[in-house]
Amino acid sequence: MKKRKRWPRNEKLYNEIQENEFLNFFDFVKYLSNVVCGDRKMKNNIACLLIWHKFPNLSARRARSFLLFLRRIKVINAKIPCFKTLCNY
């Protein structure tokens, strides 16, 4: 069996990106929700749905619980909608 060619990569940069993946993701969510929508209610929904999309194996109730946890530790500051609202969007 032929061995696949491995492309060289900058290990230092790769490690830094992997270590900061979630911080960069939450910064991206904040940026995107502010740029995409001016309506405060939709900003909250967009931010919550983007975060839930990152963790697709969570049920709606567990996703809401996770979002409330993130809000409590001050990672996000969005008003978390009820789980039915999350499901509807």
Local confidence pLDDT in tens for the 89 residues of the chain: 777 887 888 889 989 988 888 888 888 887 877 777 766 777 777 788 888 888 878 888 888 888 888 888 888 887 888 878 878 87
Note the pLDDT of residue 89: 75
State the Cα–Cα distance between residues 42 and 33, nearest whole angstrom. Answer: 8
CB burial string 35-67: b at 16+ within 10 A, e below = eeeeeeeebbbbbbbbbbeeeeeeeeeebbebb
**Does the global pTM surpass 0.75?**
no
